[in-house]
Structure 1
Amino acid sequence: MHSLPIPTPRRDSRGFTLVELLVALMVMALLSLMSWRGLDAMGKAQAQTQARADALQTLRNGLAQWSADLDAMATDLTNPRAINTLPSPLEWNGLVFRITRYSSTAGAPGLRVVAWTSRAENGRKVWLRWQSPVVQSRNALQDAWTQAALWAQSPDDATRKQQVQIVPLVDWQIFYYRGDAWTNPGSSSEASAVNPDGVRLQLTLPQDSPLSGKISHDWMRSTASGTKS
């Protein structure tokens, strides 16, 4: 007798069809596109957050320097570092804000003239700070005071090297605190305008920058009797 062969299970060796392969590729491509868009959105959000943080830190540094310049204003003529018959320690003429201040450089006693203004740089208006070298004579101080005004109007290459750009700017305003009120710097006599109890700085930042809108920053003399917002 002959035994019959035992049948074995049939193995299906069929692979993916072309349609199945195309569908799989389309799904993978869709998932990749969605992932890329998600990563791109995250990258842009991180970049915007970092740009805003950097701009905020730069503005904080600028406002801190503004306050430091006013804190160091040379108004005490009995101080041995001061120079007799100083130019006005503080002046705002609508274009440039000038301050005569004591030098903070170690080992270099004397005075500096600091100036703040706004001007177009590389096609964009920015807030700028300038400072003179340390001066130790009345003539040198007067020259620095004059140079600060010239820098604000028409800077040359030499004075540009002494300036620092702070933030983009649309406009800025300054008010003095005197007589228990905030007023325009030019609205009172010259004597009371020279050394007010406080200075209010208002900056208007452009809408297309990481920081935008209006910012107000008040500085008060430590000996001021009171404030009124």
Structure 2
Amino acid sequence: MRPPPQATRGFTLIEVMVAISVMALMSLMAWRGLDGMLRSQSSLQSRSDEIRSLQAGLAQWQTDLDQLAELSGTPSWDWNGQVLRLTRRTADAPLPNSSPNTTPPPVPASVRVVAWTWRSNPGRPGGGDWQRWQSPPLSQRQDWQNAWALAAQWGQTANDSTRAGQIQIHPLSGWQLFVHRGGSWTNPLSSDAVTAGTPDSPNTTPNSNTAPTATPPDGVRLVLTLPPGPAGAGSLTLDWVRPTLSGAPS
């Protein structure tokens, strides 16, 4: 006689439900941890991109001021309270020792008209944007005059004809400019901050397109108001000193 076969014992319904619950809980914990890592990475990347954008804008600001072109009869600096216009050298200018007889011949000296402004935009963080505009390289006075007037027009109202040279730098709540002349910081629009190109020339209005050459200030203080964001919030101050400025004789 064979002994009766023993019944095979499996998992009960309660054991299966407990196992599924444990696996679901472990999956949820793993997902939340992965989601937190992804969010942190995205936040750090956004912060890094914002900081790089702001640093690039500040570096470009300093470069434009460093390359101011002080040419006879051509303003290199104009601030009307809304837009700052600059005449700056370009990288296309020939070397000082270059000669017309060299092979290949030197590239004709050229300049650019550059403009900076803060433009209100309710859809942007802080309510506005820090923007920069530049013209193509210019070597003729008439082309410079057209670009100088176009920069003023862009500062007032941007349109399709002026947006071609426009670059969004960084969202801002506002900005301020101060200039250093005569040993102190002052408002760029004050009478002490405006000097004509020649002693006999009268001071000109800040928004004139045909003003005589204005002497660049000894220094420029830029104050940016950053809105809350990845790059931080609050006021950021950057001082620039004219490279050709020399100290007072001892």
TM range (shorter): 0.7 to 0.9
Matched, 1:85 2:73: yes
In structure 2, C-alpha distance between the alignment counterparts of 1:23 and 1:43, rounded to whole Å: 30
Following the alignment from structure 1 to structure 2, what is the Cα–Cα distance between the partners of residues 175 and 14?
Answer: 87
Q: Report whether the alignment pairs 1:190 with 2:194.
A: yes
Correspondence for 2:171: 168
Runs of at least 5 residues in structure 2 that lack an aligned partner in the other structure: 94-106, 197-213
Distance 2:120 2:18 in 1: 57
- Counterpart mapping for 1:64-143 below 5 A: 64-75=59-70, 77=71, 84-86=72-74, 88-105=75-92, 107=107, 109-120=109-120, 123-124=123-124, 125-143=128-146
Match for 1:95: what amino acid?
Q
Higher RCO (C-alpha under 8 Å, 6+ residues apart): 2
Structure 1 residue runs of 5 or longer lacking an equivalent are 78-83
Higher mean alpha-carbon deviation, 32-41 vs 11-20, is at: 11-20
Aligned: 1:151 with 2:162: no
Per-residue deviation at 1:94?
1.4
Partners of 1:199 and 1:97 in 2: CA distance: 12
C-alpha contact (below 8 Å) 2:50/2:231 kept by paired residues? yes
| 1:12–1:203 CA distance, 2 compared to 1 (3 A) | farther
Identity of aligned residues (%): 49
Cα 1:104–1:12, aligned 2, differ >3 Å: closer, same or farther?
A: farther
The alignment's TM-score, normalised by the length of structure 2, stands at 0.77
* Higher Cα radius of gyration: 1
* TM-score, normalised relative to structure 1: 0.84
Structure 2 CA distance, aligned partners of 1:104 and 1:157? 27
- State the SS of the aligned residue for 1:191: coil
Separation in 1, partners of 2:230, 2:130: 13
Q: Which residue of structure 1 aligns with residue 245 of structure 2?
A: 224
Letter in 1 for 2:244: T
Please, what is the CA RMSD of the aligned residues?
A: 2.4
Q: Number of matched residues? A: 213
Deviation at 1:211, TM superposition (A): 3.5
Q: Is the CA contact 1:48–1:210 (under 8 Å) kept in the aligned structure 2? A: no
